[in-house]
Structure 1
């Protein structure tokens, strides 16, 4: 199908790797030839491979360790610190009756997935170990929160509590709050009798119903076995020396090993057998690099997020490949997430990524209802069934499924596949059409991605249906009916007119949420309006200004007073819509600003929630509000797609990049470069820009047997040259069917190599 995503037909994997290295080195070499200062082409241009986050080996060792209780030689378990001066050492955990259980907290530095294991060198007694995993350190232990059931008098060393869950010997326990609170050390507890023993004795009476809390809490896992069918806390009971393995865990940074029974155990090593897609630099078929280190980190964090979400064939008892929403919790295919994950998979991993997208779409369509509805998630809740069960989440998510399938075709050019599933996509479109009102707007009491029902004629739902219609019109012209395409375009245009006539709110200077809530400003609808051309030029500044009122230091909120039912307010999925909208109307600096607010925190290794991947959501303060928050979530990976398509500037126009567009948005960047895999060969681009685009140089290498457009920013005083020939001067184009719009001069060219300069006359 995609015989050029990796190499020419017939080449070996080793030769493909060498050829890609040659292409990458050649692209780096061209940087100097198109006008980059010497220092910029060397010291200021790091190797993109250094940003790749996947472990270099399938056997992953911890990079840090912390201890509680009686633990010796803990650093043995950290890479590079496993020997003494004269002989190997072992880490020994010892737990005595009535004493704090010995434990080690292993930090792997970033999210991984796989099977944890330990190498046992000695043991005394019959040791029992618990093994818990978590993406965030704060959720590896759960503090107890209960009440005293019966009053306890001064001098008591034991109380009865409503629940003895999450207690651990050696932790502190606090009875009451404020100045009368008494904090003690737990010495024993009985989960059946619900008694709690402590020392020293109470110095004052504790009434019944007194609030009782512990710190730091008992070992816990942030995984949800009921949804994902995997994870939870493992119990290990070694009976001899040698290696012992836990169960598979899908997404974690931390492993907590606790010796819960009296005795001791010595370990020479602890690690994880990585199970999943471990993409090394040789596996990347596309790459990106720019003058902004933080943006570079975002591109590769998005790629790594996607990789953590990929379920290889055979894993978890399922024969097919799937793209899950997150590394942990749901571990289900979600259509909304696929809108971001699909392009990310294909633009970073080429053929391999495309195979995951196609397989996931197959799972979606296998559970399509007779009325045309596609499930929002075809494999939700795998706790009792590894294959899961279809969840028809919302009409909007049904449409997302059809759009994800069309995106697959747009990026791959797999005509046979899209032709086969075209009837299913037509059926879904007919299903969604039932929500269109006589006013040519969409009304549906739907949850959509932030799970809150929206009533009335909803702006975002109407724009989403417009997008679906336009995508279907494009598809029908490629493989179906031109007459149907014309009908879809006409209906889409009527929706655009209705949105502007009915849902624009002059007082907001933006579009309202819905006909029921016209005075509520929402990020997503206004962002999509910018991205898909709903906003007339004279209104753009007003919408951009209104959206900026939603910004916080940690990203944009959904809207004033709007809170997801689970309690969060900042959605990276919606923020990605806004950055896309800002790029579309040439507000690159605004897009970069919002990217840095939303995703900059996520790529900061000093942030306590850092996983190397992108998070599902945030609160106003930049944190998350529950243990099950996904910290490796695919729908947040939009920076990877947008840095490729809006900053490097490469987008597909016709299937498989048979025709393409190169239109970089430079913003405050000095340079960017990279490569995009296509059916016909790689598209390689690098550009350099001086302040205010006073001079721009762009080099593009595009495949033969393709064609496309190259657009560069201009003013009336600019001079544009392509391969030394002047093609734009005095405000007009003179070659390559050039046109000028929205501050860009655009030229239509056949596949080939182009050196372009833009300078002020």
Structure 2
């Protein structure tokens, strides 16, 4: 997760020259459709369609346990990753396909020396209807956005209006004397391309329409007039711009006094097949002797790959990259590994590490990089690859696995694992989030970042999902979670508040994340058995719950945002929620109960009793003050407009705050009001912001999926998984799981959206813990439970890595029988809770009848929660069969 950016923090961007579409209608002349053909980008990548119906049993039933799952593993086979196809190329490019085959010859990009840009006469000035206030770049350099930038001859500067989304915006260019004009060129940048605008010329004492432009999407837009005019002024009136994650601002870098068509920049776009992360490497065999530059752009999706990247850290910090990574190619060639820094003094900047699927190499250079790099000449490229930096999860490294009869669910499980591998990386100064996120106490340590692209900073709330995914796949990398939890604890504030991340020097004010630190600490100890961690940070646990929480608690015993100076605090989604919020309070119940478990582990009986009693009181208060009987669901907040949120309602069920009646009602309400083709939205209406009822977060969908499994709504849980993860699996970039899904199934924050985000991998623990049914119940798997929820799945198998050795489970499910085999490691004990048992079923272990439909054969066999459970299972392999009467 990360806070959205505002215009005040926007970097400068250099205009590109990607051909595209626009319609220019010259006044007094017939409509002229001026179009240029863009890069032949393909549609969304092909992917296997996710089945939405009942699971399919493979030929001959399930494979031998431990086989077959390996083919779903997504990580590359080695740390050297190569592209899988040439997606597109533009301009003068020879042998673009050679980049896919090292040793197959060179790919050449060639470009003639461009003519100088036309200039206005001395004394030309510019004024605008509004101007955005200046600010400082990431390097502290003051920046301005006034209208004079549009006529200063420097394409690295721009005019920016100050009325986001409010049109019209006007830019007026005044000449010292009349000049004959046959047209103009409007040069903008990708964060403010004027799509609809008019051009007027001042002559004969009045403004006269010279041209109308509609549907423009190019940054260099040539606007010919119907007839030449002698004018002393030009007025551009913008009525629409291309909407971006930066907002809807008019941005014009330059206006030229001639209509100049953009040259087609030589470029090659490569597809790596899925999102990857690391340092790009390009082997240049030779180049012309004028220091030709290349600009490399990256994107996780085709939609947002243009002549600049979908996101770069230098953009975020207002640095020198201007949306691409630059390199000046020597005449003798070079083996260039993209590392952060300048190639020549303060010129030719590269950002270093990137997370992306698509890479675009263009023969081009920033004007500000001259003469160190020139936007013309010839470059010859032998190969392109990536040095993969994250956790490399090959079949031999997996310590936990999953497989079932539904091919789609298998893809989602391993897609989640791969997504999480991409965020499991080393914390490094050169590639962490730039917003004050670097920390000496984390440098060089393995951590769980939010995403490979952004945010490259560990947030503790995200660990509530991503750490579980890690423990179930690569538990030997659990130190990545511990490092984050311990570091945040070491930066605890005096009042007990724990920061969410290192961003902003550990000061980002979030209300919910101290509670997530508590529950993630319990998760870490539960899966790893690390008692030393629990003992070391128990004092921090006390300060969160007994110092900070009471300071933000109201007279009803509920957490209330606004108390204790928290009015401006955000949460995982930076929502404007105030006072009593269901989500905060049911999360508080979870944190109190988890803290009590940790306290009992350490022998702190008083702490455990106090926190457990408080959890019960908070749960009672939630039901008394935040349940909406009319809607049959929990209110999002006790103040403001009435709405009901996925986060609070789902966690109320998972934590047991909701009784059976309320749980069924709340889940029914979510199904009736939030259902989308791409998942369940996190709000049931738009009173908190426009589009909230169509936004899906896999982060908050995870507890809802768990709640549906645990309340017996297995079909509903699987349906939600298939909608949410099936959508992401089928749409570009495929495989990985998105930070958020917006209206109509689009990335919810456009290009800024992280398309591989650890907090969205909840499908993996849900399928292992709920569908397969195996999970730890005490620290280090000293005790465990197997409680399958098979639904329409014919069979499932899996392994959970534990400190004692693997816990293996395999079951088969049919109309007449359910058979499960559990193989447990030494030093552990567990309980098996069999599905779908009742008076008309019997339970067998071999030839022994354990349950005859009415009673158990011995005290360890009994009915609990509508299931026959077999307690006190120890090490070794045992097989049980439920026989269902016809």
TM category (shorter chain) comes to 0.7 to 0.9
8 Å CA contact retained: 1:720, 1:757? yes
- Deviation per CA, 1:54-95, whole angstroms, max 9, x where unpaired? 1112111111221011112111112x4x56xxxx43211111
Give runs of aligned pairs for residues 439-478 of structure 1, distance below 5 A: 439-445=556-562, 446-478=569-601
More deviation in 718-727 or 55-64? Answer: 718-727
Which residue of 2 is the match for residue 11 of structure 1?
Answer: none
Q: Distance in 2 between matches of 1:213 and 1:257?
A: 27
Select the structure that is richer in helix.
1
TM-score normalised according to structure 2 size: 0.68
Deviates more, 1:417-426 or 1:44-53: 44-53
Structure-to-structure mapping, 1:209-608, within 5 angstroms: 209-210=237-238, 218-225=307-314, 232-239=323-330, 240-247=332-339, 248-260=352-364, 261-312=375-426, 316=430, 318-352=443-477, 354-377=478-501, 379-381=502-504, 389-430=505-546, 431-445=548-562, 446-517=569-640, 519-548=642-671, 549-562=673-686, 569-604=695-730, 607-608=731-732
Q: Quote the Cα distance in structure 2 between the aligned partners of 1:468 and 1:167.
A: 42
Structure 2 match to 1:118: none
The separation in 2 between residues aligned to 1:217 and 1:202, in whole angstroms, is 31
* Distance change >3 Å, CA 572–CA 155, structure 1 → 2: farther
Quick one: distance in 2 between partners of 1:197 and 1:632?
Answer: 34
Distance 1:744 1:305 in 2: 35
CA contact (8 A) 1:341 1:635 kept: yes
Per the alignment, do residues 358 and 93 of structure 1 end up closer, same or farther by CA in structure 2, a change over 3 Å counting? Answer: same
CA contact (8 A) 1:531 1:582 kept: no
> Residues 588 and 667 of structure 1 are in contact (CA less than 8 Å); yes or no, is this contact kept in structure 2?
yes
Tell me, yes or no, if the aligned pair for 1:470 and 1:492 is still in contact at 8 Å. yes
Indicate how the Cα distance of structure 1 residues 213 and 204 shifts in structure 2: closer, same or farther if over 3 A, else same: farther
TM-score, length-normalised on structure 1?
A: 0.79
Equivalent runs, 1:75-154 vs 2, <5 Å: 75-78=97-100, 80=101, 88-98=104-114, 149-150=172-173
Q: Deviations over 1:95-142 (max 9, x none)?
A: 123499xxxxxxxxxxxxxxxxxxxxxxxxxxxxxxxxxxxxxxxxxx
Segments of 5+ residues of structure 2 without an aligned counterpart are 1-56, 117-167, 200-210, 243-261, 263-304, 340-351, 365-374, 432-442, 563-568
CA deviation after TM superposition for structure 1 residue 641, in Å: 1.0
Q: Is the Cα contact below 8 Å between 2:576 and 2:688 reproduced in 1?
A: no
For 1:709, which of 831, 843, 847 is the aligned residue?
A: 831
Task: Give deviations 1:479-503, integer Å, cap 9, x for gaps.
Answer: 1311221121111111122222222
Change over 3 Å in CA distance of 1:566–1:479 after alignment to 2: farther
- Shifted more, 742-751 versus 658-667: the winner is 742-751
What does residue 142 of structure 2 align with?
none
Find the counterpart in structure 2 of residue 676 from structure 1: 800
CA contact (8 A) 1:45 1:291 kept: no
Which residues in structure 2 correspond to 1:573-652 (within 5 Å)? 573-604=699-730, 607-608=731-732, 610-624=733-747, 625-652=749-776
- Report the RMSD for the aligned CA atoms in angstroms: 3.4
Deviation at 1:397, TM superposition (A): 0.6
Q: Within 2, Cα distance between the matches of 1:540 and 1:457? A: 20
Kindly provide the CA deviation profile for residues 387-417 of structure 1, in whole angstroms up to 9, marking residues without a partner as x.
xx10342232111112211211010001122
Quickly say closer, same or farther: Cα 1:507–1:268, change in 2 above 3 A.
same
Does structure 2 retain, via aligned residues, the 8 Å contact 1:615–1:630? yes
Q: Distance in 2 between matches of 1:186 and 1:485?
A: 61
Aligned length: 651
CA change 1:588–1:275 in 2 (3 A) is: same
Taking structure 1 as reference, are residues 709 and 668 closer, same or farther at Cα in structure 2, changes over 3 Å only?
same
Q: Distance in 1 between matches of 2:483 and 2:820?
A: 37
Q: CA deviation at 1:37?
A: 9.2
Residue 70 of structure 2 corresponds to: 49
Match of 1:103 in 2: none
Q: CA deviation at 1:638?
A: 0.4
CA deviations on 1:34-65 (whole Å, 9 max, x unpaired) are xx997113599972111111111211111122
Query: Do the aligned residues in 2 keep the contact of 1:147 with 1:212 (CA within 8 Å)?
Result: no
Partner-residue secondary structure (3-state), 1:475? helix
Contact 2:514 2:544 (C-alpha < 8 Å) held by counterparts: yes
Which residue of structure 1 lines up, in the alignment, with residue 33 of structure 2? none
Q: Write the deviation string for residues 354-389 of structure 1: whole angstroms up to 9, x where unpaired.
A: 111111112211211122111011x115xxxxxxx1
Return the alpha-carbon distance in structure 2 between the equivalents of residues 417 and 245 of structure 1: 39
Counterpart of 1:759? 883
Residue 67 (str. 1) matches residue 96 (str. 2): no
> Aligned-pair distance for 1:736?
5.0
- The answer to whether the Cα contact below 8 Å between 1:289 and 1:672 also exists between their aligned partners in 2 is yes
d(CA) in 1 for partners of 2:191, 2:775: 55
